[in-house]
Structure 1
């Protein structure tokens, strides 16, 4: 009996002093991690086998032969949980300084509150390592969490200060394709983060993202220089291993065809088969993984097919988003020199000044040194647009006469085939040229008609419509700063829609007195996106096809679109009640109705 007690005592002592087991990240997660109800439909104990493709990705962090890991993936494949498990592993099992870079400071704060805090709260192995956020010792703040042997810092890629201090062993970068091209004036934020790891021989740099545009995608470039692994599943008929590919999906019956034997099987049959990662470029110095939603246990192929059909109906913008977020693939813009010919051939004769389905009119005014150019655009359900009139007023914008002509034009009423008349609900006037003061004075006197001064700014990530600021001599004129790249992307995508029934379709008149001749369409398609190097960072920019081509028609469509977005009418309400944008005129009755919220979502 004494010997048995002594043996049990020695076993307990040995267990206490023994080194911890040599876990990989996936083994730690399976042993210690708990999913939180805020982030999972199935909270509770983590199980890597629910999505077996995650195991090799997680365990690649423990591979001493690679310091860089790239994950190019769609939504709904568990990207965030992969990041969380890596963070949890290094807090609990291999304490180290960790940096998590998000696109902005705001997204970093949201991630900390919505993902990191619940994980620490619900995973006991982390709760006992990270201090209570309610304590006053400052060890657990929203963006900085200390633990024995290390700390976790969350920063925004748009914050140079957050990227410029502290040595870091583990750098995690999430949604790198949404990073700004530069952190202030400091340069590429991803490179800045990676420089922080130089003092660690065992550093790890992990980049994760859903891809965006082909020529500017950071994650695509990183993946192409990696081992380029694909999650491959064996065919139920012939056993051939192959990745899940959209081209092999058959809508009828919701099947996938084997690339080798051509047999077709349903989703459950494929997902029940053995699968593994196959690295197509095994000699690369960084590990790279590509995943799409077809492999996800949380996505059904039937749903994916339905979402594809819906995106295709709505045009290139939605299709691009679907391809990025569902297939985890980049979007390639196809540029053609004769785009204007295709669009010009879509012109039709209008029965009246305005097509019958137009509900709202907006305008755009471009200011040149010797003229003012104006376009009136009509808007209907689904944001279908119709060119109403394009007109050039020659004259010196420094003189009142040319402004008077434009003012008369913007005050004109336009008639639909049913006899209903419409007037301009909002207009935007470009203030970025040599006549800024004149623009401010003109717009200030007409803000009650929603005629606003605007200034466009190019660059990735700038919202199209921002809150107006006060400018002018007395700081009493509203100025809207526009992120024109976002608008140009939208308009360019809509110009490619060929089905008049689709939302966003652009209609143009064949009537000769409307101003839509070939020169207009050349100007409308005068710009395209080109790769350019800015401060050593390669980025996509809108540029003119030729310096001799006028691009005012493209700019004017952007300004009229901005006026529509600023005005922000409820088109469904107007159509349902057989109304037009005219009801938004500033009458006392309209103001009372707007305060009750029945007319407009915006101004």
Structure 2
């Protein structure tokens, strides 16, 4: 409601004149006006939108595929509007801001917008809502005056409209009746809020008291992976099994956007699979030559035709029989009307951009094994769910398949062309598990050794009476010291290589972490940064590997072990890469090879886990997976040491392919025993590498060099 101007009375001054009653009536009239009978798309033309650095009125013909979805926001037939689509398709403008404009101008009611985090909600309020109100005169005129009318998370308008802005927590979606709930960027929300369900489920409850006038809207680019690599659609419009926005889409009417072919007139979906581009050239060159081909007549559709085809397009929902049908023909029975737009139809993304970004993601994956860019291009640019390469690769990771693909390379010998060697240590009850890998150009790697350290070192308490116990006895960690001086022969060479780094798991049973820190402090002084600690953390949105200082477990962030550095390994992402590397049957860049002479249990351990929708998990009944974890630690070490950035024509000394390598040492007979293996075998006698002044290993910011 409009408020009359506030007049402050001060003693000694004459009283202000009375305001006429007509002023109060005039201020109250907007609240008494009935809702205007206009659609959301009609109301949208009365607000402004930023385009190309200037503000202009909203035009429905720019993204015509958004007209039907936004008009369904006022539908009394459905309870929800669901929209899945790529970035640059105007879905937030059309399904969040336009319904808000309609509520302000035509149908005043409480509107609650939920963004993915509190900081994102604040940014949305300041950078989107406030700019919209400043640059849209008709909306600005409706903004109420007075104290409390225009706050960051709460705004009031004349006529009775109120906007609240929140984030996905239970408190924001409980104990309130909200006629219109708008969820933006839904696939970046937590899947469960405090154990009470999804934001969509909680938000829909808030709209129920409004009856058929209640509505919840959710929009997002697909962000959750496909959960079943063997899925095949039961109907033409069914989406793959996913959490998030596509899960909601599958429960709705399942509409897809169709174009009429300009050559034959047959309607078809403009999907990425229909875009053609050359097989050779850079991603940008291939993208620039992209065009679309009609599946029915083979006719060529040029990129310049997209705007015209969008103007002629229409939404076809899934009929009860599973066939495409317009909304007025009667879609499948559902409480939500749902839409899924693919990237090629997005108004503000060119086909050249789609192809270029997709191919850049493919190139990065092939070069590094990192799927981040490819997943982003698939989700954000193409508007599609992503099937992790490892989800398919993990299905092929069986013990028998790995044995069949085993390499003929010799065991306990680094292959010809080895550039550096890493050793990784897993901490288990009663043993340290050691695995050694030899790395070649292109980060091809071969497992060359594996053994357990089971006996405590000399000088440890009751060393001859017990098995090694890394959690209870800090003295037992001294059994790892010989690893820095051990060496392995290089096939066809007259020198051996010692590890450029030894990476040790710093987590596990009680007592392991403080003992690992104490060992790291001692070893850093004695072995010149040779030893590193590693901890794993799962999830899709963590870095593959990074070095950081750990917090003390019991005292929190304010107490940091500043003299200790941990390599944090993104276990799910790195296991994705390892699965892809293992399923290569031939040597080459990023391949991971297991020689036939490797211990039998290693093949089973590499196949011990399976990639699911929430990450890697052990297969039922499996207990040991050390080989897989040790390869994760070695890969994390290689990443933080900068191995992915090596120019192999001009490698650093520690990755040289000859006897000038920093870690090369004179050839000596191969030692058959290993420290702590079997019946208390002594550490092997190895020739320490002769390092000249200035010849050092991989330089990094945390190894003390």
Q: Is the contact made by 1:177 and 1:210 (CA closer than 8 Å) also made in structure 2? A: yes
- Matched residue, 1:431: 507
Alignment of 1:101-116 (within 5 A): 101-116=114-129
**What is the aligned counterpart of 2:300 among 250, 253, 264?**
264
2:482 counterpart of 1:408: yes
For residues 382-441 of structure 1, give each alpha carbon's deviation from its aligned partner in whole angstroms, at most 9, with x where no partner exists. Answer: 776654644322243425675333232145467876979664346241422254243343
Tell me by how many angstroms 1:174 deviates.
Answer: 2.5
**What is the aligned counterpart of 2:277 among 251, 254, 276?**
251
For residues 29-57 of structure 1, give each alpha carbon's deviation from its aligned partner in whole angstroms, at most 9, with x where no partner exists. Answer: 22222216xxx566533222112111112
Q: Is the contact made by 2:419 and 2:438 (CA closer than 8 Å) also made in structure 1? A: yes
**What is the aligned counterpart of 1:183 among 181, 193, 198?**
193
Change in 2 beyond 3 A, CA 1:188/1:493: farther
Change in 2 beyond 3 A, CA 1:569/1:464: closer
2:228 counterpart of 1:217: no
For residues 318-355 of structure 1, give each alpha carbon's deviation from its aligned partner in whole angstroms, at most 9, with x where no partner exists. Answer: 44433323332223432525555555626464897377
CA distance in 2, matches of 1:226, 1:320: 25
**What is the aligned counterpart of 1:302 among 348, 352, 358?**
352
**What is the aligned counterpart of 2:383 among 328, 349, 360?**
328
Tell me by how many angstroms 1:573 deviates.
Answer: 6.4
- Matched residue, 2:237: none
- Matched residue, 2:607: 525
Tell me by how many angstroms 1:65 deviates.
Answer: 1.0
Structure 1 spans left out of the alignment, 5+ residues: 1-15, 531-538
Structure 2 spans left out of the alignment, 5+ residues: 1-29, 228-241, 279-288, 320-330, 456-466, 656-660, 664-690
Change in 2 beyond 3 A, CA 1:570/1:255: same
Tell me by how many angstroms 1:74 deviates.
Answer: 2.0
For residues 482-510 of structure 1, give each alpha carbon's deviation from its aligned partner in whole angstroms, at most 9, with x where no partner exists. Answer: 653344344445545678666xx233353
CA distance in 2, matches of 1:321, 1:418: 47
For residues 121-158 of structure 1, give each alpha carbon's deviation from its aligned partner in whole angstroms, at most 9, with x where no partner exists. Answer: 322233334479xx9x454444443444343333333x
2:329 counterpart of 1:291: no
Corresponding residue SS for 1:173: strand
Alignment of 1:324-363 (within 5 A): 324-332=379-387, 333-334=391-392, 335-339=394-398, 345=405, 347=407, 349=409, 353=414, 356=417, 358=419, 363=423
Q: Is the contact made by 2:153 and 2:164 (CA closer than 8 Å) also made in structure 1? A: yes
Moved more, 211-220 or 476-485: 476-485
**What is the aligned counterpart of 1:366 among 422, 426, 432?**
426
CA distance in 2, matches of 1:57, 1:561: 47
**What is the aligned counterpart of 1:543 among 611, 617, 620?**
617
Tell me by how many angstroms 1:227 deviates.
Answer: 1.0
Alignment of 1:16-35 (within 5 A): 22-35=37-50
2:552 counterpart of 1:471: yes
Moved more, 493-502 or 255-264: 493-502
Q: Is the contact made by 1:428 and 1:560 (CA closer than 8 Å) also made in structure 2? A: no
TM-score, normalised via structure 1 length: 0.78
Tell me by how many angstroms 1:223 deviates.
Answer: 1.0
**What is the aligned counterpart of 2:522 among 445, 457, 469?**
445
- Matched residue, 2:667: none
Tell me by how many angstroms 1:555 deviates.
Answer: 1.9
2:79 counterpart of 1:67: yes
Q: Is the contact made by 1:573 and 1:599 (CA closer than 8 Å) also made in structure 2? A: no
Alignment of 1:133-212 (within 5 A): 137-148=147-158, 149-157=160-168, 159-164=169-174, 166-201=176-211, 202-211=213-222, 212=224
Tell me by how many angstroms 1:575 deviates.
Answer: 5.3
2:96 counterpart of 1:96: no
The two structures, once aligned, show a CA RMSD in angstroms of 4.2
Change in 2 beyond 3 A, CA 1:270/1:558: same
In the comparison of the two structures, how many residue pairs are matched? 560
- Matched residue, 2:571: 484
**What is the aligned counterpart of 1:279 among 317, 329, 338?**
317
Alignment of 1:546-557 (within 5 A): 546-548=620-622, 550-557=624-631
For residues 196-216 of structure 1, give each alpha carbon's deviation from its aligned partner in whole angstroms, at most 9, with x where no partner exists. Answer: 223222121111122231224
Corresponding residue SS for 2:61: helix
- Matched residue, 1:11: none
Corresponding residue SS for 2:163: strand
CA distance in 1, matches of 2:542, 2:194: 14
**What is the aligned counterpart of 2:645 among 572, 577, 595?**
572
Q: Is the contact made by 2:448 and 2:595 (CA closer than 8 Å) also made in structure 1? A: no
